[in-house]
Amino acid sequence: MSDVVTITGIAAGGEGVGRLADGRAVFVPSTAPGDRVRLKDGSLALYRKFGRAVLGAVEGAGPARVTAPCPHYSQDRCGGCQLQHLGYEAQLAAKRAIVGDALRRIGKLDLPDPEVVEAVEEESEEQPAPDPQVEARRMAALSFIRRFGDPVLKTKAPPVDRFDDTLRNQVGRMAGLMADALGVGLAAPQLGISQRVFVYRVGRDAPVLALVNPEVEWTSDDEEPFEEGCLSIPGVNVDVERPIHVRVRALDEEGEERLVEASGLEARVIQHEIDHLDGVLILDRTTKEQRREAIRALREAERGEQAA
């Protein structure tokens, strides 16, 4: 059986990073977060060797200076993140040069080209019908979430100034609704609460994090387009171009400071949620054509709902 790996981040050398079932990181050149990649039969050992060589090259440059604790993996599971959370531009540039050198040397490993799996086809073939209980919880959660067209979604939210039980309860409720809705992020304005707070979770086993009054401190010059959806715009996916790396200073629900350095999917989710706090939606960030097409699809869906 061939191995399918989902790419979740970008390493300092520019290659995609995914995680194997046994938790080890695998580095796959020419891939981007969200790609599902089928590694050719028998090539896994080569990819692992490649990954070890990349890690070795980075470690050879001195200990990876991780400036903030990795926010979503415990220390013993942080193999891939070590690369993803390097953050600062200068560090990245230095690491890239070193990794680039190593990659040229590794070139003679003769890695087979990864085959990117068509995610949509794959899912319709392999995904079992949704569990009716899960689906019922998802629909219930979605009924609490404000939809496109609600003015609260277009409003810039004011900062939180009280870190009390009300805020902590609200964060707990948001985390529950996000999980039930099968979302990866949920911002307070999506529940009609105009406040600068959101919750997110990237990866099924990662803890839910709450960021309050977040400030984007730095974004990378490197940007990439990627398809995004939104719980407030169900059924719509559009391409959004965003920086690949981001550094954000925020508070948690206890009022404690938090510095988050994120890459790939996590960076994208954080930027999507901060947009919600500023009254910005994915339709404001995509091309005119995709926006027009999405709005037409939404109107049609609405007509269908009214007729039903």
| Shortest-Cβ-distance residue relative to Zn ion | 230
Between 61 and 153, name the residue whose CB sits nearer to Zn ion: 153
Q: In the bound complex, what is the minimum distance in angstroms from residue 291's beta carbon to Zn ion?
A: 15
Q: In the bound complex, what is the minimum distance in angstroms from residue 280's beta carbon to Zn ion?
A: 10
- 178 is an interface residue for Zn ion by CB under 5 A: no
Q: What track of x and - describes contact with Zn ion for positions 195 through 234 (by CB under 5 A)? A: -----------------------------------x----
Between 99 and 270, name the residue whose CB sits nearer to Zn ion: 270
* CA distances in angstroms from 248 to 64, 214, 244, 270, 278, listed in the order given: 20, 6, 13, 9, 15
Element (H, E) at 62: none
- Of the candidates 253, 266, 273, 305, the residue annotated as catalytic is 273
Place of tokens 């003015």: 151
Between 171 and 281, name the residue whose CB sits nearer to Zn ion: 281
Active site includes 254?
no
Q: How far apart are CA 61 and CA 30, in angstroms?
A: 23
Which DSSP symbol is given to 235? T
Between 11 and 270, name the residue whose CB sits nearer to Zn ion: 270
* CA distances in angstroms from 34 to 5, 53, 96, 107, listed in the order given: 10, 24, 22, 25
Q: Which pairs count as long-range contacts for 47-52, CB under 8 Å and 24+ apart, including other chains?
A: 47/111, 48/24, 49/109, 50/106, 50/109, 50/111, 51/24, 51/25, 51/26, 51/27
Q: In the bound complex, what is the minimum distance in angstroms from residue 126's beta carbon to Zn ion?
A: 27
The site for Zn ion, by CB under 5 A, has a size of: 1
Which residues belong to the active site? Answer: 273
Binding site for Zn ion (CB under 5 A): 230
